[in-house]
Amino acid sequence: MAPPELDALGAAARALGRADLVVVATGAGMSRESGIPTFREALTGLWARFDPEEMATEQAFRRAPARVFGWYAWRRMVVRAAVPHAGYDAIVALERLLPEVLVVTQNVDGLHARAGSRRVVELHGSLERFRCLDAGHPYPADAVPEPATEGELAPPACPRCGAPIRPGVVWFGEVLPEREVALAWEAAARCAVMLVVGTSGLVQPAAALPRVARDAGAFVVEVNPEPSDVSPFATVVCRGSAGVVLPALVARMGGSA
Ligand code: OAD
């Protein structure tokens, strides 16, 4: 009798091999092995004393624009230096092996596209997108300074209306982008397999996707070293890290990352 994790891996590999559409739903844990802290890990350095759920809000930005803008500019720096790990390459390999794969991510770090994934839906926006606070006028990311050190950074003013420039990410209390939500929910309701990787399943509405898939009859695979709010909706759970489990999955399918 193979150990449970091998059974889960084998069952997941078989389900993937039969799948017409696979949705890969990822959270912050997907980037952990690329050196990017998960959302709920303690913030480091200057930011350690702030609660990310408090910082990632329009209220915090209006109250302390330089602190919040500096935090995002610093995160963009960290992310730009990050390298997608083998788990990202495994997802790209799945895209080559299977008829249709859609990546739906809560992450704002852009690592899926950087790894070569071609169809990525960013539910929570991106650290590389900026717009003005009042009218939403787009602002070129290249015009946003890269901070020399961790610290406060005053946001630039919109050249069109003078409002402060804000990060193009979804803050707590804000709605998700309509087009991305429609794409994600349509795919979740149609997919044969949903691979849920590295999310605690705590933040709605993204956390609802595994249930949408399961209720529509999909085979749901969770990849996470810890139990999460996704686990009850998983058909199988591969208890392990993204950088180890995803390449092992592709290997079991006879592919290589
Ligand atoms: P969390 O920090 O809530 O959860 C990260 C999950 O990744 C946890 O379940 C960890 O056990 C798991 N994990 C850690 N290391 C891992 C690894 N190497 N491989 C696989 N999994 C690993 O992050 P999210 O669930 O993504 O949204 O949080 C969702 C949202 O919370 C974020 O997108 C953010 C915040 O609201 C916005 O900012 C709008």
Mean pLDDT calculated for residue range 239-256: 93
The mean of the pLDDT values for the chain is: 93
Retrieve residue 26's tokens: 């990822």
pLDDT of residue 42: 57
Q: Is the CB of residue 32 below 6 angstroms from any atom belonging to ligand 1?
A: yes
CA distance 190 to 43: 37
pLDDT of residue 192: 98
Mean pLDDT calculated for residue range 2-29: 89
Q: Is the CB of residue 203 below 6 angstroms from any atom belonging to ligand 1?
A: yes
Give every CB contact of residue 197 below 8 A, 6+ residues apart in sequence.
Answer: 24, 25, 26, 27, 29, 30, 87, 222, 223, 224, 242, 246
Atom of ligand 1 nearest to the CA of 106: 33
Task: Judge contact between 124 and 38, C-beta under 8 A.
Answer: no
pLDDT of residue 37: 82
pLDDT of residue 252: 94
Distance 1 CA to ligand 1 centre (A): 33
Give every CB contact of residue 80 below 8 A, 6+ residues apart in sequence.
Answer: 146
On the question of a cis peptide bond just before residue 177, with omega within 30 degrees of 0, the verdict is no
Quick one: what percent of the chain has pLDDT higher than 70? Answer: 94
Say if residue 187's pLDDT is above 90: yes
pLDDT of residue 46: 61
Atom of ligand 1 nearest to the CA of 200: 9
Mean pLDDT calculated for residue range 206-213: 96
Worst-scoring range by mean pLDDT, 9-23, 44-58, 115-129, 226-240? 44-58
- Give catalytic residue positions: 124
Alpha helices in 27-85 (DSSP H): 52-55, 58-63, 65-81
Say if residue 212's pLDDT is above 60: yes
3-state secondary structure of 164: strand
For a ligand 1 pocket test, name from 108, 203, 237, 244 the mutation site with the most ligand atoms within 8 angstroms of its C-beta.
203
For a ligand 1 pocket test, name from 50, 108, 196, 199 the mutation site with the most ligand atoms within 8 angstroms of its C-beta.
199
Residue with CA at minimum distance from ligand 1 atom 26: 27
Q: Is the CB of residue 231 below 6 angstroms from any atom belonging to ligand 1?
A: no
Query: What's the pTM value of the predicted model, to 2 decimals?
Result: 0.94
Distance 163 CA to ligand 1 centre (A): 32
Q: How many other CB atoms are found less than 10 A from the CB of residue 226?
A: 8
pLDDT band, very low/low/confident/very high, at 58 (cuts 50, 70, 90):
very high
CA distance 57 to 68: 9
Alpha helices in 82-131 (DSSP H): 86-97, 111-115
pLDDT band, very low/low/confident/very high, at 49 (cuts 50, 70, 90):
confident
